[in-house]
Amino acid sequence: MYSPNFTYTHRIVKNLVDITSARDTILNAYLVPKWEVSLRRDALIKAAHASTAIEGNPLTLEEVSQLAQGRKVTATRKAQQEVLNYLKVLENIEEYQEHGKVTEKILLKLHKNVSENTLEYPEYEGRYRDVQVYVGKTSTGEVVFMPPASTKVPELTNELIEWTNSEASFKLEPVIVAGLSHYEFVRIHPFVDGNGRTARALATLILYLREFDIKKFFTLDDYYDSDRNAYYNALKSVDQKKLDLTEWLEYFTDGVLLSISKVKEQVLQLSLEKHKKEAEGQIALTGKQTKIIEHLISNGRITSSEIQNMFEVSRQAAHKEIKKLIELNIVESKGTGKATFYVIR
């Protein structure tokens, strides 16, 4: 069975802690259904644009958005089909599973759906390669690394699948499993073409199946596309003899943190706007009061002592800030005496 080699560095651990905090904020935030739909749609379009752009697709983000809405754009049939395929896969990512697990059948289906009507030789859709290929930069043609021989592909791929479904992998954080699976899949390069898109879709699928991105709000593809050289350098940084994935996981968790932090900021802003509108026509909120609301959105409650610690102020000053929010009908108190805490109304 596949056995990943990596070390938990301070950077990886810090990233994981911050990622968990951001995720909790998103899941606990106040969001009306239409906001959730909008966030999912934005993530879907950005992912489809970025993941195909990395591999040379010329469509702009606006053109991808138009395609997603069923509109026509001026582009080659192949360019449009690559985007439409990826959009459809991400829209239906929850369907790529068998009792909550990834199987060889599912993986082949994932590749077939990603590459449908885009390959020079259609018979390779959803079928392992039987030729030697290489991983390289589309822009320069530089070879990043040479994958294993095609004869080893079925065995290596099944070992990865077996590990992904193993008890050992379920003991790891979903983000780590997604990162390890992404790299190993790219290293094996099971298919003639479409490996990058399939690897990124697989990472997305793992995060969904592990109930990490249950609302499908964020995408990693945009992070990869924002600095393609960094993406390829991170892949190339792994010594092919030792296969120590520590440096790759630092890069991968950096990306997850950056992506989920962007969503967190969007979610907090949406939630904050809702409460600002409720206080419309009244005195504007101070920076401290805004931070108190953000804390409440993230954690569900706050105490006077937490406000004191947050701003390093006296109990009286903390009470003054929370009192204003109560007067604005944004916050209400619960409990009595020392057990008093505050919640969003």
Written as six digits, the tokens of 255 are 């990306």
Written as six digits, the tokens of 233 are 């350098």
Q: What pLDDT, on a 0 to 100 scale, did the predictor assign at position 77?
A: 95
**Mean per-residue pLDDT over the chain, rounded:** 88
Q: What pLDDT, on a 0 to 100 scale, did the predictor assign at position 277?
A: 57
pLDDT, tens digit, for every residue of 2-55?
899 999 999 999 999 999 998 988 887 776 666 777 888 888 999 999 999 988
pLDDT averaged per 10 residues in sequence order, the chain, 345 residues: 94 95 83 75 91 91 92 93 95 92 96 95 95 77 84 97 95 96 95 93 93 82 83 86 94 92 84 60 66 74 90 89 84 87 84
Written as six digits, the tokens of 162 are 């077996």
How far apart (Å, rounded) are the C-alpha atoms in residues 238 and 225? 20
Query: Collapsing DSSP states into helix, strand and coil, what is residue 342?
Result: strand
pTM of the predicted structure, to 2 decimals: 0.78
How far apart (Å, rounded) are the C-alpha atoms in residues 234 and 156? 21
pLDDT, tens digit, for every residue of 82-100?
999 999 999 999 999 999 9
Written as six digits, the tokens of 167 are 């008890």
Centre a 10 Å sphere on the Cβ of residue 167 and count the other Cβ atoms it contains: 6
Q: What pLDDT, on a 0 to 100 scale, did the predictor assign at position 223?
A: 84
How far apart (Å, rounded) are the C-alpha atoms in residues 146 and 136? 9
Strands 143-145 and 135-136: antiparallel
How far apart (Å, rounded) are the C-alpha atoms in residues 135 and 195? 9
Centre a 10 Å sphere on the Cβ of residue 303 and count the other Cβ atoms it contains: 16
Q: What pLDDT, on a 0 to 100 scale, did the predictor assign at position 282?
A: 47
Query: Collapsing DSSP states into helix, strand and coil, what is residue 64?
Result: helix
Measured CA to CA in angstroms, residue 214 lies from 40, 49, 98, 277 at distances of 11, 21, 17, 29
Q: Which of 49, 182, 189, 275 is catalytic?
A: 189
Q: Kindly calculate the radius of gyration of the chain based on its CA atoms and give it in whole angstroms.
A: 23
Centre a 10 Å sphere on the Cβ of residue 239 and count the other Cβ atoms it contains: 10
Written as six digits, the tokens of 196 are 């990058």
CB 235 within 8 A of CB 144: yes
Q: Taking CA 298 as the corner, what is the angle to CA 26 and CA 282, rounded to the nearest 5 degrees?
A: 110
CB 19 within 8 A of CB 256: yes
How far apart (Å, rounded) are the C-alpha atoms in residues 242 and 88? 37
How far apart (Å, rounded) are the C-alpha atoms in residues 106 and 110? 6
How far apart (Å, rounded) are the C-alpha atoms in residues 43 and 208? 14
Query: 282: closest CA among 319, 323, 324?
Result: 324
- Is 189 annotated in the active site? yes
Query: Collapsing DSSP states into helix, strand and coil, what is residue 86?
Result: helix
How far apart (Å, rounded) are the C-alpha atoms in residues 320 and 292? 12
Domains of the chain in sequence order: 10-267 (1.10.3290.10), 279-344 (1.10.10.10)
